[in-house]
Structure 1
């Protein structure tokens, strides 16, 4: 019979993680036995720990595309504000698009990393029902993208690099969003980001869906964490369109080729940022430090370029995507 602690843990597990969890539970029981009975099980514990590590490596290095999508949505996975607060010595959030409202699904502001001031912008999700409603499930309205552009121009004014953290199932598709110019807001962001005269680094930290992601994803360096996805549509919605059912989402994920490895192969991103074994949520502190060091490294390299070079290279980079020769 499962204890309350085990039941809660089970709820947080993905299907392919359950065999690992069962082994870890056996390891916990064995360690508890050693404490309670003074039994000499040190050798057995060591063997089991090695077995767990082996199973983890086999599991997480052979994930299907759908399984990586599942990891990108894990409820314990770090979100934008988690990265910002953990990487920055201080962070001042800025609000509003100066026109309609302050979109809570899009956050941004200045933060310091090792003395380097950076403008951070990104989608923010919620962990419980109340937070998800407050953040609109990470789906920004037009005012969110207009706020993002306002902050980008502010960073440009003060000659500060920009880092965008992308994690959205898509821009909000509601009628009111369309009435306020959702498509125009995203298109304007894409256009204006090409001409920003400061370094722009874009990192997919979770889901990168459709125009909702593209609205803050035009940069000098575009990167993805290892267990994230980037696509014109989610596997579920693709399945619904093609098969009139969500039941084929795994096949859709394979067809979409949406993982970091796929995007790097297509030359649509520049780099894949490795995650700890088990995903970013398995060791958040390690993930924060890795992302932090990548950001500092890229900023240092990009600051050597002039504003004209940044703009020209950015335009050439995206103009060359999708070109084929026959």
Structure 2
């Protein structure tokens, strides 16, 4: 990706629960082509952006102008210092970051300083990994599967775990385990906002006048969502019409995210579940495809689809295909082609 295209964008709202209340984005200077921007407001009202590296710069959120980006900490020596977040507690500025990328060496480290731009002192017990009711909580990236990241079909998920943070001390985080204990608050569904509850099931009929559910996602932003994903069109009520993209889920070397990629998904929330979809499709050209996918990335997914092969004399076929690029010691199963079962 061209570093000059990496920009920061800010959206604002007075009501975060209302989709229509958010403003259009305005850009913020990112001359260093950094990633993982995180906003921090100091006690005097001044705002700052921390970004991967780890860099910090002042920002004027009324104009989008920024000060010079300062390298404030490079972590503890692991690669990929990123995802910073600044806390201010007991007169200290605490800088929490991630290191090691998203592989097995992933870790969380912390440093602190009396001044916003440092120098920052690294915690001697790094890496660390411990509400209004005075209970501190931590969140971490974790996977369901294993061992050694051999199987992780749900990718990285967020887990909640207890923490302790005494006055003037460093935060102490509990180890993340399969079964956790802590002062969990009682379930409460009397909260603002709308949309599906995490973990609940779906029955989506695409009723006339409805919209795509808020928790349905895309792999790339649609160039024209209303056209590419039409809900209950006149000729096909109670369905969603999909406009085919040139690129399939694996895409190609020349693919650009702005080209669009027709794909709508729901994040997997359970290791065991049942689901079904109804598809009505007309395949008339070689390589046309429509179906479903267990999808992690363009390089790692499993698809079950109706597919028009190059030799289309037999018409559309059913194809089961596994894509597993970039993972060492992993051999993907052979692609399976078969006739479409008759109803």
TM > 0.5 fold call: no
TM-score by length of 1: 0.25
TM-score (norm 2): 0.24
Higher gyration radius (CA): 2
